[in-house]
Amino acid sequence: MAAQNGKDLLIKVDMSDNGTFQTLAGLRASRISFNAEAVDVTSLESQGGWRELLGGAGVRSASVSGAGVFRDAGSDERARQIFFDGETPDFQVIIPDFGIIEGPFQVTGIEYAGVHDGEATYEMSLASAGALSFSAI
């Protein structure tokens, strides 16, 4: 895979729960990470004393974070609404030349910051709230 522009990694939110996705406005940095808990089934009979893991078991999760400039756009308002209402709408994370991750996420944190001689900024954290799908690009 060739080098990619970081600006092409997009986080989109379903604006009205009808499959209409819009990029979260003002983002400058985005990150997604995937995790899977291992279930250890090692016993005294494990060959050579090596650890054994139970395939397909455990909890899988994804976390997404982003940081950017506050623009007071419709997507910013939607993100605030999701947080304060405790909703878990669908989001899309578009990873260039890789694919689209889609599914329900909960907004687990929003931080706003600003300095007297600079722009207002925000950071947002999301946690997967159900099964995610992957579509190759």
pLDDT of residue 94: 92
- Which helix (DSSP H) or strand (DSSP E) does residue 110 occupy? strand 99-113
- Cβ-proximal residues to 46 (8 Å cutoff; 6+ apart), any chain: 52
Q: Give dist(CA 30, CA 67) in Å, integer.
A: 7
- In which residue ranges of the chain is pLDDT below 50? none
| Rg value, the chain, Cα | 19
Whether 122 contacts 67, CB under 8 Å: yes
pLDDT of residue 87: 95
Q: Residue 92's CB: how many other CB atoms inside 10 A?
A: 19
List strand residue ranges (DSSP E) for 8-98, in order: 10-14, 21-23, 27-36, 60-69, 90-95
Whether 86 contacts 34, CB under 8 Å: no
CATH of domain 6-35+62-136: 2.30.110.20
What are the boundaries of each domain within the chain?
6-35+62-136
pLDDT of residue 1: 59
- Cβ-proximal residues to 122 (8 Å cutoff; 6+ apart), any chain: 26, 67, 68, 69, 70, 76, 110, 111, 112, 113
